[in-house]
Structure 1
Amino acid sequence: MRLRLTEFRPRTGPRTHRVVQPRTPLRHTSLRDPEDTYGVLIGDHDGLNRLAGLFSFAACSRHTIVHVPLRDGVPPDEGRGEPVDLVLAHPEAGLRPGGWPELRRRLGRGTPLTVRTDEARTARARLDRPYAATTLRHTTHACTYFLIGGRSAFASAATAFALAAGRGPRHPCAAEGRAAFVTCLSGELAPDPGLRRHPEIVIAFKPYPPYAHFRRPGR
């Protein structure tokens, strides 16, 4: 997949960070704060497909912070919790959630960047070395949900988003303009001792309004 991004090189103290964002926003994709109960991510085909690409890119980019602004899109009419942005990073990127607000303020204008992801490589990363499989640490800070972890967990999440983008439009609920719950991120997320249940992010497909434009594949 080809991803059109904007690249930033903000500096905090002695360190220069590499941050990328989608060049155009995911207008019809939203994430409800998973720290409340469980997270709900609802997106149209474009949003879910691009998230699959962004997670795939994050899996192979240990020193890059992937920032996905989601709060400025079309407000969702389903799900509970506050809308949040999304940040993906490896520990090697040196990102502290508490330092994100300052880093975000320093992003500036940025420069265009186009990258290609390798879906076959992502699939291999999800399956290779199962004994070394990792989970994603997660927290919410400054209206942003952070996922910090390793290659295999990001690759597994990329596969889940690709599945949702492919199967979601075929779900009967989609033709009625309702969210179709397709899959979730659960095993990819690290357990949280403070929660009574294992953390989970439900991934749902929903066509963008007006729904008259949408036709289920094969119809």
Structure 2
Amino acid sequence: MSQCDELLALLMEAVKQQAAPGGEEKQIPVGVSNRHVHLSQSDLDRLFGPGHTLEKMKDLSQPGQYACKETVTVCGPKGVIEKVRILGPVRSQTQVEILAADCFKLGVKAPIRLSGDLDGTPGVTLVGPKGSVQTEKGVMIAQRHIHMHPKDAEKFGVHDGQWVDLQVDGLRGGVLKNTVIRVTGESALECHVDTEEANALGLGSASSVRIV
């Protein structure tokens, strides 16, 4: 058998394995996130008035999470971005997740971070209908990650905090390195990427990826 024949045989076997029954069980659905804001209750009160309650627009894929009807304007040293969606429910600390291109528009140097890791992140000014808030920290570019329930982690053979690589199929596909596993009892299986990553690789809300 020639080297070309061997290579063709290996390729055909890989395709057969991918198409084999149970192959779909290894697929992880994709969720695409645009820039958004998580607010603390105190900042919500300052932006929308004392005692304001967020109004749900639609549920998100993660249990208990939802997009709100309310939006804010994000102001940086060099520019502003209007109508940035708030996600609920309220959190203990305000967090602003932006895209890499937004850093140039706003004039901030946002690091790539996992949600909740706010130390050393810059702040911005948030403007709402009733007031404004100057945050001391909380601006970040979201580190791509996979939400998993413990049962999902067991099935995939991974653990919380583990870094994995993902295969993205399709004409614009490739390998997404440095993707973090996040395991909680309240999570639903989903890989979260931002719109820039999704656009670069041709991913959408109906897409899926797999760990390699």
TM-score calculated relative to the size of structure 1: 0.24
Specify which structure has the higher proportion of helix: 1
Larger CA Rg, structure 1 vs 2? 2
Higher share in strand: 2
